[in-house]
Amino acid sequence: MRIATWNVNSVTARLPRLLAWLEKSGTDVLCLQELKCSAESFPAEPLRELGYEAAVNADGRWNGVAVVSRVGLDEVVTGLPGQPGYLGEAPEPRAVAATCGPVRLWSVYVPNGREVGHDHYAYKLEWLEALRAAAADDTAAARPFAVLGDYNIAPTDEDVFDPAAFAGLTHVTAPEREALAGLRALGLSDVVPRPLKYDRPYTYWDYRELRFPHNKGMRIDLVYGNEPFATAVEDAYVDREERKGKGASDHAPVVVDLEV
């Protein structure tokens, strides 16, 4: 079974690449983030023509998440129980869960945080705590379970091209990394090993300053799985090729193969 996660940075803008990638990659389940569309405008029909159904949580703004599956889509949950809103607003569409065949998955788009000390940074930490609470029961279950998505956190200094360049910035602070440790304490682990098939397996490269050609990236798209999920992993990789060329997202897909 092939499972992947991909921040597409607008499913509408990336639709031709998304459909082509699904066909050539043989992916069974894809978790998407940053849809930038409403639930009504999500391209369900083109995906259905390829044999995929979708669970979508989106409102037309800059966020939005989905689980796209060709192996079943059951027990769908949109949003996190007790999920906070930013500055008292309604909760944003940043999480959706579904059971796809034998596997339970959450697709998540963690708030960016903007800058340390900003209200959005506090919101990010609150949101991560809500995610930890929501994941607890699924983590303890006997079936394979994983939380996939754009975490907007680099787990270690090795996961950024230059730690000094990120000093004092979000994505690398101790509280953010402690939130990841809280997920691991539930029994989840980072199932994408280091090193992979090449050094520095980043998943995100800013469009500016030729960051991708110079491989100045970050590893912030993560797959955290429980023990049944982790022990089923046969292979994992970042599809760097999909970051290349005209019209690419600034993130690359992260792919995990399971024996389930």
Annotated binding site for Mg(2+): 7, 34, 150, 152, 250-251
How far separated are the first and last CA of the chain, in Å rounded?
A: 7
Residues 6+ apart with CB under 8 A from 164: none
251 annotated active-site: yes
Helix (H) or strand (E) holding 221: strand 221-225
Which residues contact residue 128 at a Cβ distance below 8 angstroms, ignoring those fewer than 6 apart? Answer: 110, 176, 179, 182
List the binding residues: 7, 34, 150, 152, 250-251
Catalytic residue among 28, 123, 138, 150: 150
Structure tokens at 25: 């990659």
Q: Is residue 171 flagged as an active site residue? A: no
Please provide the DSSP assignment of 42-77 as one string. Answer: S-HHHHHHTT-EEEEE-BSSS--EEEEESS--EEEE
150 in catalytic set = yes
Of 121, 202, 204, 251, catalytic = 251
Please pick, among 109, 202, 204, 237, the residue that the annotation labels catalytic: 109
Catalytic positions, written as ranges: 109, 150, 251
